[in-house]
Amino acid sequence: MDPRYKKLAVAIVPQPREVPLPPFDHDTLQALFSEIGRDFPYQTFEYIFDRRGARFSNAENDFVELRPAQLQVSARMDGQDLLTADMAASKVSRILQTAIDKLGIPGFLQCAVQVVAVVPIPDSSPDAKAFLADRLMGGVNVGALGDDYFGSTVRLRRLNDDPPEQDSLTVEPFFQDTSFIFLNHEMTRTAGGRPLTDVDQIDTWVGEAFDFVDRPVMQLLDEQGD
């Protein structure tokens, strides 16, 4: 099995400069829209959260959202211009670095990474619902709940206290086409004793997220498919 990536999203929580958080400067947000748009054009610009921040967007899963409490970039990977994992990571990193520099953000306290993909089922008669119910859910009998119920979502989690980390993997049928499995992998990383200042660290975490899907997740699905 090989993943077909649909989206990479990264969100960071900036180190507070003041409390309460001041809004971003409107002229700076407009300038960012123009600067980012030179390499990554976005169709729309709008102020958000009572004009405290801004959102640049092309589609629901292809946007940049800048607000004092969080910076987020969502890069669609399966659109008209297909993005590889390296291309998506580079896009997100460059946009975040540009925003951090122009907005004068000294560091960030937390980072969340999301990787979304679909995986084709290799069976001759592929059925993601049956695959999950029979192989990942251990053949759990849900018939007592009614004829319309079926085994669907499997969620696996990893928690670590030191350093503080949270990972999750959601596996379910891709309901738009149930010959595919839908994967949603999320990671949360928190700064330790001092704020993080290096965007290279984000690149490392994004690489780990893609590697996790490419290797152990595919191994898990391959083993269940045997």
Spatial distance between the Cα atoms of 130 and 110, rounded to a whole number of angstroms = 38
Average pLDDT, the chain: 91
Q: Looking at the predicted structure, is the pLDDT value of residue 112 above 80?
A: yes
Residue 212 backbone dihedrals phi, psi, to 5 degrees: -65, -45
Residue 122 has pLDDT above 70, yes or no: yes
pLDDT at 226: 59
Residue 130 is predicted with a pLDDT of 84
What ranges in the chain are assigned the alpha helix state H?
26-39, 85-103, 128-131, 199-212, 218-225
Select the more confidently predicted residue: 128 or 56: 56
Phi, psi of 223 (to 5 degrees): -65, -40
Give the angle subtended at the CA of 188 by the CAs of 222 and 108, to the nearest 5°. Answer: 145
Q: What is the pLDDT of residues 192-207, one digit of tens each?
A: 778 888 889 999 999 9
Structural contact between residues 150 and 31, judged by C-beta atoms closer than 8 angstroms: no
| Cα–Cα distance measured from residue 131 to residue 225, given in angstroms and rounded to the nearest whole number | 8
- pTM across the whole model: 0.93
- Which residue type is seen at 76? R
pLDDT, mean of residues 156-181 = 91
Residue 139 has a pLDDT of: 61
> Residue 198: what residue type?
D
Q: Over 70: is that where the pLDDT of 225 sits? A: no
